[in-house]
Amino acid sequence: MSSLQHVNPRVREMRVSPHSALRSLAARITQEIITGAQKPFKDVIDVSSCDPHKAGMKPISFVRQVLAVCLYPQLLEDNSLPLDVKLRAQSFLEVCDGKSVGSYTASSGSLHVRQSIAEFIMRRDAGVPSYANNIFISAGLQRALMVVVKLLASGEGETQTGVLTPIPCPHTLPMLLDEAGVMLVPYQLREDRGWVVDLEELHRALKTARGRCKPRAIYISNPGNPTGHVQDRKSIEEVIQFAAAERLLLLVDEVHQDSVYGQSKEFISYKKVLFEMGKEYSETVELVSLNSLSSACMGECGLRAGYMEVVNMDPDVMLFVDSVLCGDISTPVTGQLALDLMVNPPKPGDPSYKTYTQEILLTQTTVAQNAQRACEVLNDLPGMSCQPATGGIFLYPRLHVPPLMIEEAKSLGVEADVLYCQRFLEEEGVCLGAGCENGQEDKKYHIRLCVLAPPVTMEEVLARLRSFHLRLLS
């Protein structure tokens, strides 16, 4: 008897995602290069998703130094390390059980770190209150989101829970909703207007969904992933009013809040706007906001830590969230401490302040310049158009794929943008994301490009893309 017969039917029916297939192909090509195969390129560059250190971006020195001391306390005697590094590490060890990062923390995260996050949120939102007991630390943003979505999931058919989801959306979201047993209710972002959230479209999506499922939440990504749009205050207010009128939970991914670079653009949190709209909203609208170490400036994806702050959630539900997180034992302690460093960095006058500030500024400048440069190159190519990004770390250009490639893709049983990415990877050694993973309108094709990479790497990506694209159209 095959062991697959004992696997959950939902898992058995799952197909390999285009993202996984392209990453596997990239790994195979890399191995072929290592073993001496001749390719027209020396290496494979992966800019399909947010993994800046893999792309060549350097980690923040202060973060790595403090974590190194926490992992090896003998470094407290090392006089080459800045004093504030050693003091911060010592303070962390004092709040760890057994004075060791090898100990567990509470399932919802270290109280010390949760308090630091609450203080950061209050500073960010100009004094809007935040409390440690409303903050839950998880092993990455996806884990936090899964916990909340599973709490919402119920019913079948017309009573099945639905979540209004932007199209395009983060490429991991559709699979997450499917795994949780929740229906994805698409609402289309307006590409021709810079990927804005359109209120009329929200109402259309909700009206269409009723009778097919029971919408209970709306997901927002701000700054947008993968679109790079940044919502202004008016847009945020409209979404909050919509959620209030329709009694929807707001699920807001704000992981790239540290990366806003569009002219006259600024990041404004949903929570800040909610509380400035008065008690009619601030005391009634349920909100879950999410952030993580995968933010542009930290880029510490592998440390696996994120947090969510819940607003106006029933205390009994919050207790259940904590219980669900118990299943993870606790988020890796090194990741939790890195979260503390992200929200509570060196201050003016600290020995590490100058270096830390320079490194953060370099990352922010790199993202902004790469986004502008890439957009210019992409818009200069025939058969491609790209809305400029004003925040976040992705560009999401539209492809006008040649009819022959569309027909070939159809015969192979794949989307045309997947075939485009596959050919590009095989011929030029660059791994992009296929737009079909993020969701797109019928017969409109896109690619996803992460611009969080060293400028020399981004120039190489753009040069290879230009060469391939022009060759494809010739």
172 falls within a domain: yes
Task: Name the domain boundary from 98, 125, 147.
Answer: 98
pLDDT value of residue 326: 63
Task: Name the domain boundary from 314, 343, 372.
Answer: 343
Sheet holding 249-253, edge to edge: 135-138, 306-311, 287-292, 249-253, 214-221, 161-167, 183-188
d(CA 198, CA 24): 37
**Same domain flag for 331 and 395:** no
135 falls within a domain: yes
Residue 50's domain is classified under what CATH number? Answer: 3.90.1150.10
Q: Which residue has the tokens 């209050």?
A: 122
pLDDT value of residue 329: 61
Q: From first to last of its 474 residues, what are the pLDDT tens digits of the chain?
A: 344 444 444 434 446 788 889 999 999 999 999 999 999 999 999 999 888 898 889 999 999 999 999 999 999 999 999 999 999 999 999 999 999 999 999 888 999 999 999 999 999 999 999 999 999 999 989 999 998 999 899 988 889 999 999 999 999 999 999 999 999 999 999 999 999 999 999 999 999 999 899 999 999 999 999 999 999 999 999 999 999 999 999 999 999 999 999 989 999 999 999 999 999 999 999 999 999 999 889 999 999 999 999 999 888 777 777 777 666 667 899 999 999 999 999 999 999 999 999 999 999 999 999 999 999 999 999 999 999 999 999 999 999 988 999 999 999 999 999 999 999 999 999 999 998 988 877 778 999 999 999 999 999 999 999 999 999 998
Tell me whether residue 358 is exposed, middle or buried, using C-beta atoms within 10 angstroms of its C-beta: 0 to 12, 13 to 18, 19 or more: exposed
Range of the domain at 432: 3-57+357-473
**Same domain flag for 186 and 284:** yes
**Same domain flag for 161 and 290:** yes
Query: Residue 440, SS3?
Result: coil
**Same domain flag for 279 and 384:** no
Residue 150's domain is classified under what CATH number? Answer: 3.40.640.10
Q: Which residue has the tokens 């959950």?
A: 8
350 falls within a domain: no
395 falls within a domain: yes
**Same domain flag for 394 and 457:** yes
Residue 68's domain is classified under what CATH number? Answer: 1.10.287.1970
Task: Name the domain boundary from 312, 343, 374.
Answer: 343
State the pTM of this model: 0.92
**Same domain flag for 416 and 285:** no
Contacts 24+ apart (CB under 8 A), 231-234: 231/196, 231/197, 231/268, 232/265, 232/268, 233/268, 233/273
**Same domain flag for 372 and 289:** no
pLDDT value of residue 157: 86
50 falls within a domain: yes
352 falls within a domain: no
Q: Which residue has the tokens 């003016």?
A: 348
**Residue 415 structure tokens:** 């989307």
Q: Among 178, 176, 183, which Cα is nearest to 212's? A: 183
Count of domains observed in the chain? 3
Tell me whether residue 257 is exposed, middle or buried, using C-beta atoms within 10 angstroms of its C-beta: 0 to 12, 13 to 18, 19 or more: buried
**Same domain flag for 456 and 320:** no
d(CA 185, CA 101): 42
Q: Among 292, 337, 359, which Cα is nearest to 101's? A: 337
pLDDT value of residue 321: 74
348 falls within a domain: no
**Same domain flag for 92 and 42:** no
**Same domain flag for 41 and 68:** no
**Same domain flag for 152 and 171:** yes
**Same domain flag for 8 and 86:** no
